[in-house]
Each structure stands twice: as structure tokens, then as C-alpha cells.
Amino acid sequence: MSGHAPTRRAPLLTIYSALVFIFIYLPVVVLILYSFNRDGVGGFPPRHLTLDWYRQLVADAPIWDAVVNSLIVASCSVALSLTLGLLAALALDRANFPGKALFRRLVLLPLILPGIITGLSLLMFVVFAGAQLSLLTVFLGHGTALISVATTELFAGLQKMDRAQEEASLDLGATPWQTFWRVTLPNLKLSLIAAGLLIFTLSMDEIAVTFFLIGRDNTLPLEIWGRLRRGITPEINAVSTLIFAVSVTLIVIWYRVRTRGLGADAQELLEKP
Amino acid sequence: MYSRAYKTLVSLPPLLWVGLFLLLPYALMFAHSFWVVHDGVLVHQWNLHNYLTLFSKPVYVEVLLRTMRIAASVTLCSLLLGYPLAYYLSFHAGSRKELLYQLVIVPLWVSYLVRGYAWKTILGSEGILNGFLQYLHLTHGPVAFLLYSPFAVVLMLTHIYTPFVFLPIYAALEHIPRPLVEASHDLGAGSVQTFLRVILPLSIPGLLAGATFAFVLSLGDFLAPLLVGGASGTMIANVVQSLFGAAFDWPLGAAISVCILIITISLLFLSERLEKRWSFK
């Protein structure tokens, strides 16, 4: 709100907005609350607070195996999509090649299409290629789909970069290789961190594409999914609460990095691909 | 300024990767939709059989229409929740604006599955809402129709897409030059008139973007129906999923996917055109 126009009072709108906030946060609050409830996920009010479900969770080997699988997939996906996303962003920013417009749209497709379409297409590809479903195929799916996120973030970073620095570096006798490592990449540091965190979070949580590419080893969301079908216990609340805590931490870091480095334009590019 | 080698080096790897692992898989999906399965074996024989089945059997058209209805309800509900919230933040939140904005953003990146699961525990017949109603003596037995219904699907998806709808609307409202609003007030228009004749028209591009997002993403969702929808909440993507699973009819599943893809892309295209028409530059 600009300084010279005082905020008008609108009590009804304020109450309505408060209700929308309650709607947005209610499920999360309920989830966390019932992770401490001895008598399970139903009933009201929650009684007999306990940490039993967290103890049970700590001793639950399959969950931790799934956590490790998810961490591996997410880290590898970050590495792959950042590398290819960086190259794609450089290509879109600096090179002209036949099919550039098509390429730009194609890269972004997994971001706009329903997950099931990307997931099934990759499943057909894996079967077509005669490969087995495993964590490797999950990684292939995440890494490829998330190039879209990396490209958008890094392209925005490149657009904001001062081209003169690179020119100066080349004029002063640095090779293109040196210029890339010493000028281009350091300038993109914030975009790289922001994109990396975002890709990591999205990969840790991905389910629609993973659903079709999963082999014998589960990722964490798929492990939880499997358990939901068998019946629900507050142990799932407990693990969800922990996931929530980790995502919020990552989001806060991501948000700090991004507001400091990129500002609102990049955000818009991401939201409206 | 960049050499030809540099350009080739940066373009080639992503082009090859995207061609191999994105373009080829999508093309395979397209190709499958023209093939058929005979006695459990995929036959690479080009024909329109799947598309004919799709439009001649009422069950598919019915599910597709139900899916559209659910997606439209989700879009409408998300707009009804997201627009006033965005308007409040942009025009009335004062110094708390930044904090509130971040509070809307946070749930955006919080696990889809976790939030869906939370609704399941709230709506179930032995769930929290029923417990709450009985605690207040408003009902005596459990109310069973809450979970496993199209209502539950709409509720869950609305919850997930409200922040998505909020974002572009908020961005559009923030871009409205404040002097325009002040001029409208100075020239004697009331708050309602200013909203209807100045603010709303200028926010249409954001509104369209948000609505398209909510509609398109709901259209292809298959997890919410599995989680909270039950049989009556089945959506088109669930049909695809079962054709690829137990029913083992990949070509028919691929044909439905191609239809979803075409609907999605046409909607995105249409909304892009409309947004351009409505933007005031």
C-alpha cells in the first residue's frame, strides 16, 4: 500500500480473509495436533498427549529406508536438472538454433501438464527401451521433469545479469571457459541455490510421476501412500509432521535466498511459464 | 560475443536429453493411442479404434463430464476464496502484507499427500469433524457422506489450489497503479463502484491465469479421487490409471491421455489469448 493512501477499514473482508486463512491452515494444524494423540487419528477433542507415535516412527525401518531412497533420488535429481537446466537457460539466452521456440515450450511441459501424463509417457518409454522400473527410472522422471524449474529460475537469473562483466572478462584475455567459471557461474549463485532447494523439495514430495515409475524400492511419499491404503495410524501424522517441518525450513531458506537475490520478476516467470 | 563452439556446447546436451527423455516419451504416448491390444498383446497397427470407443461408450463421456464438473467447482471455489484474500492483502493489509503473503505461500510447497491425508482424517466417519459434531451434540451418529464423495474431492482440491489461484490475482492487483484507484474515489465513485469498474477489470488477466491453473491441474488429478473420492468421485485420470494397471489396455489409456493433453493445451492457449486481450498495455 502506498504511503499517502491510508488503509481503509473493511471488517467483513477482514473476517472473510481470516476464515480463508483458517481453511488453508486447518488441515496442517489438525495433522500436527493428532500426531501427539494417544487414541488415534479420530475423535474430538484429542486427549492424552503422547510421543509414542514418534517412538514407533523412529523404530520403523521401512520408513527410514524410504527416506534414504527419497534423499538419494532428490539429490541426484538436483544435480541432473541443475546441470541441464543451466545449459538450457544459457542456450535459450544466447544461442539460436532451429526449433528453439518448440524447445522452450517442451522443457516447460512437465510443469503445466498433469503428472499422470508425464509419468505414463516415461513409463512407456522405459518399457519401450526394455529397462526395469527402479529408483533409477524414478530419478530419470524427476530429473527430467524438474529441468523445467531449473531452466525458468536460471533463465531469469541470466536475464538480470550484467552482460558487460562477461565482455570485460573476455576482452581482458580470459578464455570463455575461465569466464564461465569465474564470472557467469558466481553471478548465478543465488539462482542456483534457489532452484536447487526448490527442485529438492519438489522431488522429495513428488508422487504423480513417481507413481508410474517406481520399482521395488519405495520413495517416502510412495511408502506413505501404500500405508494409507492399508489403514491410518498417527504414525503417519508423525512422519507428516516431520516432513512439514523440513519443507517449511527449506522454504524459509529458499524464500530468503530468492527475495535477496531475484525479486518478484523471477517469481512471475515461474508462476506463469 | 559467444563463439559457435560455446553455443553448440550449451545447446546440444539439453536438446538431446529433452528430445530423448521428454519428446520421445510424449510421442510414444501419441503413437500408442493409435495402436490396439489383441488378446493381451500390443499390436502396432495404426487405426482410430480407441478414439471411436472413447466417444461411443457413454461411460467414458460420463466420467469426462463429471471430471469437468469437479474441475469447474474447484476453480469456482478457489476463486471465491482466493480473490477476496488477494484483494484484502493488496488493499487492506497495511504493514502486515509481507508476512501474510508469505503465510499464503508456505502451504503451496507443503506435501500434496500430507494435506490430502489430513482431509481424510478430518472427514472420515470416525474422523475429527464427526467427533467434533458429536462432542457439540449436533449429531448423534457419524455423518458418513463427507468422505468418499465428489464433495470431498472438491474440498481437497480447493484447499490445494487456492494458493495457486491467489498468486497471479495478487500479482495483478499489485500491478494496478494506485493513482487510478484514488482518482476513482476522488471523482466520487464508492468502494463497490471502484471495485467493479476499475479494480476488477484490471485484475482479469490474473484471474484468468489462476482459474486456468486450478482447472487444468484438477482436470488431470488422480490422487485426490483415490484418497478421498471413493467410487462416486472417480475422475478421468483414474480411468487412465486403471487402463494402464489392472485392465491392461495401454492404447485406450493413451487415447484418453491424449484427450486430456489436448484439452489442457487448448485451455492454456485460449487463456493466454484472453489474458493478452484484457491486459491494459
pLDDT digits 0-9 by tens, B138-161? 888 777 778 888 999 999 999 999
Q: Which of A247, A264, A271 sits opposite B111 (nearest CB)?
A: A247
ipTM greater than 0.90:
no
Q: Give the single-character DSSP code of B43.
A: E
Q: Is A167 on the interface with B (CB under 8 A)?
A: yes
Calculate what percentage of chain A has a pLDDT beyond 90: 52
Q: How distant is the alpha carbon of residue A255 from its chain centre?
A: 13
A271 grid coordinates:
508462476
Taking CB atoms and an 8 Å limit, are B105 and A107 in contact across chains? Answer: no
Is the pLDDT at A269 greater than 60? The verdict is no
Taking CB atoms and an 8 Å limit, are A24 and B219 in contact across chains? Answer: no
Identify any residues that bridge with B43 across adjacent strands, giving them in sequence order.
B36
- CA distance readout (Å), B146 to A75, A95, A225, B130: 39, 55, 21, 9
Where do runs of H (alpha helix) occur along chain B? 4-18, 24-32, 49-56, 58-91, 97-105, 112-123, 128-135, 150-174, 178-186, 191-194, 200-219, 223-224, 236-244, 250-278
Residue A196 is predicted with a pLDDT of 93
Q: DSSP labels for B68-90?
A: HHHHHHHHHHHHHHHHHHHHHHH
Q: What is the pLDDT of residues A206-222, one digit of tens each?
A: 999 999 999 999 999 99
Residues with Cβ within 8 Å of A87's Cβ and at least 6 positions away in sequence, in order, are: B10, B11, B13, B14
* B38, containing H or E segment: strand B36-38
On whether the CB atoms of residues B76 and B154 are closer than 8 A, the answer is no
Is the pLDDT at B15 greater than 90? The verdict is yes
Residue A266 is predicted with a pLDDT of 47
Best mutation target among B114, B161, B176, B240 (most A Cβ atoms within 10 Å) is B114
Pick the most confident of A42-46, A71-75, A242-246, B268-272: A71-75
CB atoms within 10 A of CB A115: 24
Contact list in A for residue B110 (CB cut-off 8 A) is: 28, 244, 247-248
Taking CB atoms and an 8 Å limit, are A97 and B28 in contact across chains? Answer: no
Nearest residue in B to A203, CA atom:
B111
- A26 within domain boundaries: no
Best mutation target among A24, A106, A158 (most B Cβ atoms within 10 Å) is A24
Is the pLDDT at A5 greater than 60? The verdict is no
Reduced to 3 states (helix: H, G, I; strand: E, B; else coil), residue B36 is strand
Where do runs of H (alpha helix) occur along A113-174? 115-128, 135-145, 147-160, 163-171
Question: Per-residue confidence at A232, pLDDT binned at 50, 70, 90?
Answer: confident
Pick the most confident of A43-57, A69-83, B138-152: A69-83
A154 grid coordinates:
536460471
Residue B246 is predicted with a pLDDT of 80
CA B26/CA A129 separation, integer angstroms: 14
Domain layout of chain B by residue ranges = 48-278
Is the pLDDT at A173 greater than 60? The verdict is yes
Residue A271 is predicted with a pLDDT of 52
Domain count, chain A: 1
Rounded mean pLDDT of B16-40? Answer: 92
Residue A7 is predicted with a pLDDT of 54
- A40 within domain boundaries: no
Q: Is B26 on the interface with A (CB under 8 A)?
A: yes
Q: Is B159 on the interface with A (CB under 8 A)?
A: yes
pTM of the entire predicted model:
0.88
The enclosing domain of A144 has a CATH number of: 1.10.3720.10
How many interface pairs between A and B have CB atoms less than 8 angstroms apart?
257
- A118 within domain boundaries: yes
**Closest to A123 measured CA to CA, from A203, A207, A212:** A212
Q: Sign of dihedral through CA atoms A238, A48, A42, A17?
A: negative
* A56, containing H or E segment: helix A52-58
Which residues 71-110 of B have a C-beta within 8 angstroms of A? 81-82, 84-85, 87-89, 91-94, 97, 100, 102-107, 109-110
- A19 within domain boundaries: no
Contact list in B for residue A225 (CB cut-off 8 A) is: 113
B127 grid coordinates:
474422523
Question: Per-residue confidence at A246, pLDDT binned at 50, 70, 90?
Answer: confident
Is the peptide bond preceding residue A45 cis, with omega within 30 degrees of 0? Answer: yes
Domain that holds residue A127: 71-271
Give how far B44 is from chain A: nearest CA, Å.
12
Residues in chain A: 273
Rounded mean pLDDT of A56-78? Answer: 94
Calculate what percentage of chain B has a pLDDT beyond 90: 60
Which residues 38-77 of B have a C-beta within 8 angstroms of A? none
Q: Give the single-character DSSP code of B45.
A: -
Residue B39 is predicted with a pLDDT of 80
CA B103/CA A27 separation, integer angstroms: 15
Residue B94 is predicted with a pLDDT of 84
- CA distance readout (Å), A217 to A135, A242, B151: 7, 21, 34
Taking CB atoms and an 8 Å limit, are B111 and A167 in contact across chains? Answer: no
Q: What is the pLDDT of residues B100-131, one digit of tens each?
A: 998 898 877 677 888 888 898 888 877 788 88
**Average pLDDT score, chain A:** 87
Which residues 191-230 of A have a C-beta within 8 angstroms of B? 198, 201-202, 205, 207-208, 211-212, 221, 224-225, 228
CA A69/CA A220 separation, integer angstroms: 7
Is the pLDDT at B7 greater than 70? The verdict is yes
On whether the CB atoms of residues B103 and A21 are closer than 8 A, the answer is yes
- CA distance readout (Å), A165 to A153, A158, A183, A190, B103: 21, 12, 7, 17, 38
Nearest residue in A to B244, CA atom:
A120
Classified by CATH at the fold level, domain B48-278 comes out as MetI-like fold (1.10.3720)
- A23 within domain boundaries: no
Taking CB atoms and an 8 Å limit, are B222 and A116 in contact across chains? Answer: yes
CA A248/CA A205 separation, integer angstroms: 13
Reduced to 3 states (helix: H, G, I; strand: E, B; else coil), residue A132 is coil
Taking CB atoms and an 8 Å limit, are B135 and A44 in contact across chains? Answer: yes
Give how far B57 is from chain A: nearest CA, Å.
22
